[in-house]
Amino acid sequence: MSVFYVWTFKYDNVVNEFNKFQLNDLTRNLVGTSKIALATLLIAGIWHPSLVKISSIIMGLFMIAAQYYHFKIKNPFFKHMPSLILLILSVIIAMIPRQ
């Protein structure tokens, strides 16, 4: 739910962050669309468990990229926390065995 919240209601913050990261609008929009799609697949994974593993792995890769960019621009640690928490959750979700 946090992905939906950030990419819809806090979109101005996203725009500011991507500008600081020196990433263009197309990249920002592709990342946002991908994250929303992955979050949707993770929710759909409640009913279709086969969707969960690959979605959580790809989401984790996005969070690793986010960490890279936070380190690149030397953001304070509290700015790293949202993507770090989502990275940890993605790893945990990917590791849970499914039927």
The pLDDT tens digits of the residues spanning 26-68 come to 999 999 999 999 999 999 999 999 999 999 999 999 999 999 9
Q: Which of 97, 91, 16, 28 is nearest to 61 (CA)?
A: 91
Find the domain containing 50 and state its range: 2-95
User: 73 and 21 in contact (C-beta within 8 Å)?
Assistant: yes
Q: How many domains does the chain have?
A: 1
Half-sphere exposure in the Cβ direction for 31 (13 Å, CA): 21
Average pLDDT over the chain, rounded to an integer = 94
